[in-house]
Chains A and B, each alone.
Chain A
Amino acid sequence: MPASSLLPILAALAALGFVAGRRRALSLAGGDARGLHSLPAHYGAEVALFTLLPALALLALWSLATPLAVNHLVAGEFPAETRAEPGAMSLAMSDIRRLAAEPDAGQGSAGQGTRAASLQEAARLYSTLRARASGLASLTVLLTALAGLGYALWRIHPRRRARSHVEAILESLLIGAATLAILTTLGIVASMLSGTIEFFRLYPAGDFFFGTIWAPSFGGGSRLGILPLLWGTLYISLIALAVAVPIGLFAAIYLSEYASPAARALLKPLLELLAGIPTIVYGLLALVTVGPALARVFGDEGLGWMQGASAAITAGLVMGGMLIPFVSSLSDDILNAVPQALRDGSLGLGATRSETLRLVVLPAALPGIVGAILLAASRAIGETMIVVMGAGAAARLSLNPFDAMTTITAKIVSQLTGDADFASAEALVAFALGMTLFVLTLGLNVLALHVVRKYREQYE
């Protein structure tokens, strides 16, 4: 029985457990809920959780273990030399899975002779094993659910602290979710790290970190220096921040200090709407509108500073536009957190609104605003689509913002898409780039969080 039909059955059992638990608790108390330690619903919930959770855990375990076990058993049927040959086994297994899925279609395509026969044999074995495992899984899962249901019903007693039990189970569920989130992060780091280590086995770390030339060639002899990419990343981010920080901050100041409640109610959601636009749309804007417009002014027809529409300035300006709502929304929250009493104190001394802002509100909010800017910087560094579409592809160490440049993120995309051999240095470099980016943004985020936390204590 597949999991899809097992789940509704489990849910039905849990619902049944809830009703039965509730009823049993009530009847044990002689029909009067006041005689129970907890509310009747708590007893029901406890039974339902006992029914559901162990069964679900077992089901998850089965789903993970079955393919591993079946593959292992099927592979055991093949001679040792086939198993030792790299790639041959996975090829055979995919053939087997295909044959098992549609036994008749495989007849012609799987080839002739002994290999076809043995594959057919293996596919039959595969199907039987799968079916058997699936049946076994369904049976044990259902039995576990029933056992949980029965056990929990049997344990119901008017003095049983069902309320605390339900509370404890829910708490451990929440802890489980939080742990899973952390484990995901660790998993990402681990997978990046293994790729990075693999890369540094093939390519010297010194050349990667200090190389000034980025010239991958899939025929070999690539030069994979990160510096031009790092330069492009930081340069474009800097342009973006130079656009976003003043505009975003001024917008936030207007919203929090000057705007009437009506204007604020209209403008703030509008600004935040801007933050919801997918970055690919901004990328299109860079490619189709901003780039050509800049090229018309600064390109060959105009001032002659710009070779094409793709340039660091194109991506930087558009990315700046993307970051404005981010900066303004964060700064607005921070300015609003400055107590009104401080503004009143300053106004009461005869300061004007802008004096109050400059001398009292901004200094009090400054650490928080710095935190917001650092968060924006880490977003700019990690941004991909706008750069891919707006900045060009040339890895270049140049001071001219009108030159095409590229960033770490854009190069990760280009190294991994296409026909790259995943074991080559040219593809694995993506992991090293990703790791560098991760460390960079992590550092900025930690710094930002530290600054923001320090600011929180300011007027406590």
Chain B
Amino acid sequence: MNNCSQDTKVTAKNVNVWYGDNHAIKDVSVDISDRMVTAFIGPSGCGKSTFLRCLNRMNDTIPTCRVEGELCLDGEDIHDARVDPVELRARVGMVFQKPNPFPKSIYENVAYGPRIHGLARSRAELDEIVEKSLRRAALWDEVKDRLQAPGTGLSGGQQQRLCIARAVATGPEVLLMDEPASALDPIATAQIEELIDELGRSIAVVIVTHSMQQAARVSQRTAFFHLGDLVEYGETDQIFTNPADSRTEAYITGRIG
């Protein structure tokens, strides 16, 4: 029925994206494996965030954006008419660059996804999901005594972990993270990175980052984007020690970007 392979979690084949007349992503093909952290690196405006947003069809919400090509989740085309983008986004969660907790309590922030998808049959079950998600986001110990306090009152790093808890609460199979630590201080960044490492053991995590050190620290695979092209994709160790393309080498040694 389609030529998506079955053994990878997400498959992209010949994906092109346009914003109006601007050709933002040019013919990109990537296979993303399950239970692994994949990093997208590249200079600003190279299309890495745009490509990330293709994976859960968030680009659908931008009227001028046009996506072509084949994108599969578990071998199923996500642009297929039978796939509901709303359901897709519950399976492919997303964490944004700037922490964006809802102006609600900490509890309600985490309970938001399970509520709209009807994942809990009782209040006790919902409580359990909230606690489990907050624990997975390494936030439980800090907020367990003030679950009813507003989420916007937390510090920047805590807010971002709250957003991660909110995303994992729906039980996603893939978690997309768009520069999740770029607005945070080094200590909060280290906590987030630890969390990414932890999450990458159970689900597929895709992270966009500006920081090459971050990509080297947390990811097993790295894709280097430049001006809308996927220049190089491979094992992180190999990309950083022995890049095949001269542009990759120029970027990771700091000569471009």
| Interface, chain A (partner B; CB < 8 A) | 260-261, 339, 341-352, 355, 359-360, 363-364, 458-459
Given contacts A341-B100, A344-B58, contact A349 B63 (CB under 8 A): no
- Determine the main DSSP class of B at the interface with A: helix
B:63-102 near A, CB below 8 Å:
63, 86-91, 93-94, 96, 98, 100-102
- CB-CB under 8 A from B90, the residues of chain A are 349-350
- CB-nearest residue of chain A relative to B108? A359
Q: A344-B58, A347-B89, A350-B86 are known contacts; what are 16 more A-B pairs with Cβ within 8 Å? A: A341-B98, A342-B102, A344-B96, A345-B100, A345-B101, A345-B163, A345-B166, A346-B102, A349-B93, A349-B170, A350-B89, A350-B116, A350-B117, A350-B170, A351-B116, A458-B152
Q: Per-residue 0/1 for B165-176: is the Cβ within 8 Å of any A Cβ (1 yes, 0 no)?
A: 011001000000
Contact between chains at B166 and A458 (CB < 8 Å): no
Q: List 15 A-B contacts (CB under 8 A).
A: A261-B63, A341-B96, A341-B100, A342-B103, A345-B101, A346-B102, A349-B113, A349-B116, A350-B87, A350-B170, A351-B113, A352-B86, A363-B104, A364-B102, A364-B103
- CB-CB under 8 A from A351, the residues of chain B are 86, 112-113, 116
Contact between chains at B112 and A349 (CB < 8 Å): yes
Give bound CA distance, A259 to B112, whole Å: 26
Give bound CA distance, A342 to B102, whole Å: 6
List 10 A-B pairs, minimum CB-CB distance, nearest first: A350-B90, A348-B94, A350-B89, A341-B100, A345-B100, A349-B113, A351-B116, A364-B103, A350-B86, A352-B86
- Chain B interface size range: 20 to 34
Give bound CA distance, A347 to B166, whole Å: 12
- CB-CB under 8 A from B63, the residues of chain A are 260-261
| Interface, chain B (partner A; CB < 8 A) | 56, 58, 61, 63, 86-91, 93-94, 96, 98, 100-104, 112-113, 116-117, 152, 163, 166-167, 170
Contact between chains at B58 and A349 (CB < 8 Å): no
Given contacts A349-B112, A351-B116, contact A458 B103 (CB under 8 A): yes
Contact between chains at B98 and A350 (CB < 8 Å): no
- CB-CB under 8 A from B112, the residues of chain A are 346, 349, 351, 359
**Which of B56, B61, B88, B163 is packed against the most chain A CB atoms within 10 Å?**
B61
**Whole-angstrom distance from the CB of B10 to the nearest CB of chain A?**
16
- CB-CB under 8 A from A343, the residues of chain B are 61
Contact between chains at A360 and B87 (CB < 8 Å): no
- CB-CB under 8 A from B102, the residues of chain A are 342, 345-346, 360, 364
**Which of A341, A348, A352, A359 is packed against the most chain B CB atoms within 10 Å?**
A348
- CB-CB under 8 A from A339, the residues of chain B are 100
- CB-CB under 8 A from B103, the residues of chain A are 342, 363-364, 458-459
- CB-nearest residue of chain A relative to B150? A458
Given contacts A342-B100, A359-B112, A459-B103, contact A348 B152 (CB under 8 A): no
Contact between chains at A459 and B89 (CB < 8 Å): no
Contact between chains at A348 and B116 (CB < 8 Å): no
Contact between chains at A348 and B104 (CB < 8 Å): no
Contact between chains at A359 and B116 (CB < 8 Å): yes
Give bound CA distance, A41 to B89, whole Å: 62
**Whole-angstrom distance from the CB of A95 to the nearest CB of chain B?**
72
- CB-CB under 8 A from A352, the residues of chain B are 86
- CB-CB under 8 A from A347, the residues of chain B are 58, 61, 89
Give bound CA distance, A347 to B167, whole Å: 11
- CB-nearest residue of chain B relative to A356? B116
Given A345, A364, A459, which contacts B96 in the complex, CB threshold below 8 Å? A345
Give bound CA distance, A360 to B86, whole Å: 16
**Whole-angstrom distance from the CB of B53 to the nearest CB of chain A?**
9
Contact between chains at B86 and A348 (CB < 8 Å): no
Give bound CA distance, A349 to B167, whole Å: 6
- CB-CB under 8 A from B104, the residues of chain A are 363
**Whole-angstrom distance from the CB of A52 to the nearest CB of chain B?**
52
**Whole-angstrom distance from the CB of A261 to the nearest CB of chain B?**
7
- CB-CB under 8 A from A261, the residues of chain B are 63
Give bound CA distance, A352 to B113, whole Å: 11
- CB-CB under 8 A from B116, the residues of chain A are 349-351, 355, 359
Give bound CA distance, A344 to B56, whole Å: 12
- CB-nearest residue of chain A relative to B104? A363
Give bound CA distance, A364 to B104, whole Å: 9
- CB-CB under 8 A from B87, the residues of chain A are 350
**Whole-angstrom distance from the CB of A370 to the nearest CB of chain B?**
15
- CB-nearest residue of chain A relative to B176? A348
- CB-nearest residue of chain A relative to B114? A349
- CB-nearest residue of chain B relative to A459? B103
Contact between chains at B170 and A348 (CB < 8 Å): no
Give bound CA distance, A348 to B93, whole Å: 6
**Whole-angstrom distance from the CB of A437 to the nearest CB of chain B?**
36
Give bound CA distance, A359 to B166, whole Å: 15
Give bound CA distance, A349 to B101, whole Å: 12
Given contacts A355-B116, A459-B152, contact A348 B96 (CB under 8 A): yes
Give bound CA distance, A355 to B89, whole Å: 14
Give bound CA distance, A343 to B90, whole Å: 15
- CB-CB under 8 A from B167, the residues of chain A are 348-349
- CB-CB under 8 A from A458, the residues of chain B are 103, 152
Give bound CA distance, A343 to B163, whole Å: 13
- CB-CB under 8 A from A459, the residues of chain B are 103, 152
**Whole-angstrom distance from the CB of B24 to the nearest CB of chain A?**
18
**Whole-angstrom distance from the CB of A337 to the nearest CB of chain B?**
13
Give bound CA distance, A343 to B86, whole Å: 13
Give bound CA distance, A347 to B152, whole Å: 19
- CB-nearest residue of chain B relative to A344? B96
